[in-house]
Amino acid sequence: MKKIMITLLIALVGGAASIGLYKLAGFDKKEIIFQQVTSSPSTLTRFGEGGLADFTIVAEKANPAVVHIKSTFGSTRTSERRRQPQSLEDLFDLFGENPFENRRIPQQGAGSGVIISSDGFIVTNNHVIDNADQVEVTLYDKRSYKGTIIGTDPSTDLALIKINEKDLPTLPFGNSDAVRVGEWVVAVGNPFNLTSTVTAGIVSAKARNINILRSQDNSAIESFIQTDAAVNPGNSGGALVNMNGELIGINTAIASQTGSFAGYSFAVPSNLVKKVTEDIKKFGSVQRGYLGIIIRNLDAKLAKELDLNITEGVYVDSLMANGSAAAAGVKPQDVIIKVDGTPVKSVPELQEFVGRHRPGDVVTLLLIRDGKEKEIKVTLKTREGSTEVAKKPVTQTKFDLLGIELEKVSEKELKRLEIEGGAKVKSVGRGKISKHTDIREGFIITRIGNKLIKSPEDVVKALEGAKGGIMIEGIHPEEGEIRYYAFGID
């Protein structure tokens, strides 16, 4: 009996010690936090009951900083869209104040945006607000504001807008370079006008080029983060967030044959987003440096032809005569393998890294030449060959919204047309004028309202602060007769 009692006592003491250690270690709790010691920004992954990832805290952080954006693309005439005003009725109709008949059908689009500063700056996709006459921003708490387009960058499909409000919730930028394939991410946006929708997935790939922007812009930068988080129409411009509640991308595109989510979505990396938005705020437009090279991906076939023992990198096909790389000593058949010490395995990666720099910045390229590594420092230039960035912020004017590029009129042409001066339309893009008139390249603007125009600078001055109806007077060199264009402007 004495031996049995001693055995029971030892068992009880051992059991109590085990229970104490179990509680001390925290194994009695239903929720366990695992912390990974890595360079990834997602160092904290929460697991709830059953061992499943818990996205509740991420959603609570992200939702208030993601907004709904409604864009109104003016008034599209049901009859002929672009023609000259032939009567007073037509003139009022172009101004958007026709008292005779309302023949306009406003077109609307919807998307998402992310508040990146508490004073109202919001990043979204360029295609969400491109060519919009009005932008309405609705916050998570249902407050609604008129948004102002600060600037756009079609090369990355990004845009910056602003609302007049303070103390807004924001999403901090994460480091998209540190994002790893396989890590959890959350997409937040407004698909199908269903506000504040949260979906989850993993990073499927990085530095994806899907040629969705390059068809419109040869200098487009496509180095998307690919995920399998569900993204649908309306999610554009919304947030891709890591498990720390940090912004690592702006959701931009999906791979689909139906127009709806079919398994993969693509986001612009946050490091590129940060640079683009900072440029727009500081300079009024994106200040981008270029290497000035024609490149392609290195693969096994090309590596064999070049007798290289690597199969990843960026092969230099040729160089532009006045480009940055040529001036620094880069040569055709070089293979770039690193930029500023960071490996680059593909063209999209190289374009993204370089795209984060401004003219005048120096980048260090590590390349393979004749089987040996060589390091070259390159001072980046603009496409025009300058190393200068904008010296002061550029104030967005009504002129920016018109979608036309102007140039000086030659002395020979002024003399032939017997006019004192003017501003010649060099090109017509997407903007107010192209939407509401049939103005063509070559047209010379000689008067705006009651203001005489003698140079492109005069056009900018004439349109600063202009509102309501605008009347442009001018002459087309080929026709030699005075013509008028009228349209409305907010």
The pLDDT of residue 348 is 94
**Residue 3 C-alpha from the chain's centroid:** 78
The beta-carbon contacts of 408-417 under 8 Å, at least 24 apart in sequence, are 408/455, 408/456, 409/444, 413/444, 413/477, 416/477, 417/444, 417/475, 417/477, 417/480
Min mean pLDDT across 151-155, 288-292, 311-315, 428-432 is at: 428-432
Segment (H or E) for 379: strand 372-379
Low-confidence winner among 51-65, 283-297, 323-337, 433-447 (lowest mean pLDDT): 433-447
Which is higher by pLDDT, 93 or 79? 93
**Local structure of 22: helix, strand or coil:** helix
Judged against a pLDDT cut of 90, whether residue 174 lies above it is answered with yes
The span from the CA of 123 to the CA of 115, in Å, is 7
Whether the pLDDT of residue 90 is over 50: the answer is no
**Mean pLDDT of the residues in the chain:** 81
Looking only at the bridges linking them, the beta strands covering 342-343 and 362-369 are: unpaired
Q: Do 120 and 166 touch, CB atoms closer than 8 A?
A: yes
Yes or no: say if 273 and 287 are a contact pair by the CB < 8 Å rule.
Answer: no
Query: What pLDDT does 22 receive?
Result: 40
pLDDT tier, 261 (very low <50, low <70, confident <90, very high otherwise): confident
pLDDT of 292 reads 93
pLDDT at 266: 95
- Report, as residue numbers or ranges, the catalytic residues: 127, 157, 236
More confident residue, 347 or 218: 347
DSSP string, 409-421: PPHHHHHHHT-S-
260 or 176, which is more confident?
A: 176
- Stretch 104-120: mean pLDDT: 85
> Is residue 8 predicted with pLDDT exceeding 60?
no
Percent of the chain with pLDDT over 70: 78
Mean pLDDT of 94-109: 52
Which tens digit of pLDDT belongs to each residue from 387-442?
A: 888 765 444 444 555 677 788 888 888 888 888 889 988 877 666 676 777 888 88
The pLDDT of residue 398 is 47
pLDDT tens readout for residues 309-330:
889 999 999 999 889 999 999 9
State mean pLDDT over 256-284.
90
Collapsing DSSP to helix, strand or coil, 9 comes out as: helix
pLDDT tens digit string along 335-393?
Answer: 999 999 999 999 999 999 999 999 999 999 999 998 899 999 999 999 888 888 876 54
CB 337 within 8 A of CB 303: no
Q: Is 193 left (phi over 0), alpha (psi -120 to 50) or beta?
A: left
**Residue 430 confidence (pLDDT):** 64
Q: What is the pLDDT of residue 228?
A: 94
Quick one: angle between helices 270-283 and 347-355, nearest 10?
Answer: 30
Concatenate the DSSP letters of all residues of 279-320 into one string. Answer: HHHHHSS----B--EEEEE--HHHHHHTT-S---SEEEEEE-
When pLDDT is cut at 50, 70 and 90, the band that residue 42 belongs to is: very low
What residues contact residue 441 under an 8 Å CB cut-off, 6+ apart?
425, 426, 427, 428
Range among 44-53, 96-105, 301-310, 373-382 rated most confident: 373-382
Enumerate the β-bridge partners of residue 40.
Answer: none
